[in-house]
């Protein structure tokens, strides 16, 4: 578990991305009241490493004060919750990672204070009041995220809160004293990734500086999957499947989709992640060449981003080596003659449902 931490002072600008969980289109950046009335549980399709998943997001019902009285409102986890979750994970890698007893098992989480969250959010230019941070924590601990694979009798599904459990003082007390310790356990998929070393170091500071939601989503995917970034190995994607699998979704008009991609890529170029001269290839409708049905992109890394990717690769090699050593020690101490697969690294897929029973058990 300690392999997840980044305690070297030279790694102060970094955190970890998590396999599958961070790529899921789990946040809701915008939604109309009509969409909410039509279906309160949002369903999205997502494809990663050749595996197709279905993602369902059930909103939280939280209480707000209005005119001296409480009213219940329905909220989906959005950009605010995304930022708070990023800071919670940053605190975890900086030494606040902890375990909580859960029957015969232990769950992985993070110790924090509301003041810590607010201070780090403000440092990265995301300023929220104590009440807003508490509401974000409430939303994350109440919203449900279900990820499934397959259909019918072959369908595997796993459901959990964005924060599986949350221990805080009463809201009124915490608004008076923001220094009291809290503890939140991560989503089961995040805990599973930490236990099995399915995470990768990335530039947290740059991510928090990106003002475009879609640009930030791009950046985390590039940081996690573009491990061989170079001018000879560009990041390639197509507009339609990418947006369909993102929290933004696909707009009816192609020009709106193209504009969203260009703004996101421009935001990355401004943060010295990619070069500003990416390639766009229009894919036309064979029956009507005037109609663009998709766009293929090639994006090239800056030298700065390439060096950070190389550093992340080196860090991953260290984690791999230490995890293997820990497995050998465990095998000698507890299971002589057998292998321990509990700390295996990514085998080229992110099909966590192969390990579903292990996730539930742990």
Least confident of 94-98, 208-212, 290-294, 342-346: 342-346
Gyration radius of the chain over CA positions: 21
The pTM (predicted TM-score) of the whole model is 0.85
Could you tell me whether strands 51-58 and 42-48 are parallel, antiparallel, or unpaired per DSSP bridges?
antiparallel
Q: Give per-residue pLDDT as tens, 101-117.
A: 776 678 999 999 999 99
Domains in the chain: boundaries: 2-209, 213-301, 311-348
Return mean pLDDT, the chain: 87
- The class level of CATH for 213-301 reads mainly alpha
How many Cβ atoms from other residues are within 10 Å of residue 286's Cβ? 8
Q: Give per-residue pLDDT as tens, 156-206.
A: 877 899 999 999 865 566 556 667 789 999 999 999 999 999 999 999 999
Q: Give per-residue pLDDT as tens, 97-156.
A: 998 877 667 899 999 999 999 999 999 999 999 999 999 999 999 999 999 987 776 778
Distance of CA 252 to the CA centre of its chain: 26
- Print burial letters for 243-271: b (CB count within 10 Å at least 16), e (below 16): bbbbbbbbeeebeebbebbeebbebbbeb
């Amino acid at each position: 578990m300690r392999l997840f931490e980044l305690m070297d002072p030279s790694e102060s600008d970094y955190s970890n991305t998590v396999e599958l969980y961070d790529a899921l289109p789990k946040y809701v950046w915008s939604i109309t009241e009509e969409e909410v009335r039509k279906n309160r549980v949002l369903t999205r399709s997502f494809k990663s490493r050749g595996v197709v998943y279905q993602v369902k997001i059930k909103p939280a019902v939280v209480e707000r004060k209005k005119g001296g009285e409480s009213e219940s409102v329905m909220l989906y986890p959005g950009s605010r919750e995304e930022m708070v979750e990023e800071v919670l994970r940053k605190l975890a890698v900086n030494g606040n990672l902890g375990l909580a007893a859960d029957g015969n098992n232990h769950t992985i989480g993070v110790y924090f204070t509301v003041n810590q969250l607010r201070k780090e959010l403000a440092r990265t230019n995301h300023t929220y009041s104590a009440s807003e941070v508490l509401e974000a924590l409430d939303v994350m601990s109440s919203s449900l995220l279900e990820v499934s694979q397959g259909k019918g009798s072959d369908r595997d599904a796993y459901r959990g809160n964005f924060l599986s459990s949350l221990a805080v003082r009463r809201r009124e007390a915490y608004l008076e004293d923001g220094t009291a310790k809290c503890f939140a356990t991560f989503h089961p998929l995040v805990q599973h990734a930490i236990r099995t070393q399915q995470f990768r170091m990335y530039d947290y500071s740059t991510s928090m500086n990106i003002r475009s939601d879609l640009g930030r989503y791009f950046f985390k995917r590039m940081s996690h999957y573009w491990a061989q970034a170079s001018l000879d190995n560009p990041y390639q994607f197509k507009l339609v499947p990418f947006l369909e699998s993102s929290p933004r979704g696909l707009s009816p008009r192609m020009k709106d989709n193209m504009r969203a991609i260009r703004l996101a890529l421009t935001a990355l170029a401004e943060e010295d992640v990619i070069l500003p001269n990416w390639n766009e290839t229009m894919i036309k409708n064979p029956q009507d060449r005037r109609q663009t049905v998709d766009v293929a992109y090639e994006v090239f890394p800056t030298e700065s981003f390439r060096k950070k990717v190389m550093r992340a690769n080196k860090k991953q090699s260290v984690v791999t080596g230490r995890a293997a050593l820990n497995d050998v020690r465990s095998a000698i101490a507890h299971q002589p003659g057998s292998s321990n697969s509990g700390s295996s690294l990514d085998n080229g897929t992110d099909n966590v449902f192969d390990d579903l029973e292990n996730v539930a058990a742990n």
